[in-house]
Amino acid sequence: MTEHYIFYTNHAVRQMFQRNISTTEIEYVLETGKIIMDYLDNKPLPSKLLFSMVNLRPLHVVCSF
């Protein structure tokens, strides 16, 4: 079994708190979300913008793998 770790930036944690978004909701987007944009030139790592509907609300997550 492969273990996966999720690291949250300070900015992400602030946004999650302000918008009442749980880590469970973030994990759901990471597992089921549709890639709607690739940011290949992002530093320090390329990233992706994911979208999914979570509890009847749209949720966007920017992440790097």
In this prediction, residues 3-32 reach a mean pLDDT of 94
Q: How many domains does the chain have?
A: 1
Residue 3: the pLDDT is 80
Q: What is the pTM of this model?
A: 0.85
Task: Note whether residue 2 is domain-resident.
Answer: no
Is 26 contained in some domain?
Answer: yes
What is the length of the chain?
65
Is residue 3 in a domain? no
The answer to whether residue 4 sits within a structural domain is no
What is the per-residue burial (b if ≥16 Cβ within 10 Å, else e) of 40-52?
A: eeeeeeebbebbb
Report angle CA 20, 39, 8 to the nearest 5 degrees.
Answer: 35
Q: Is residue 54 part of a domain?
A: yes
Q: What is the pLDDT of residues 19-44, one digit of tens each?
A: 999 999 999 999 999 999 999 998 88
Report d(CA 1, CA 57) in Å as an integer.
32
Distance CA 26, CA 44 (A): 21
Establish if 48 belongs to a structural domain: yes
Side-chain half-sphere CA neighbours of 63 within 13 A: 20
Q: Residue 36 falls within a domain, yes or no?
A: yes
In terms of residue numbers, what domain contains 21? 10-63
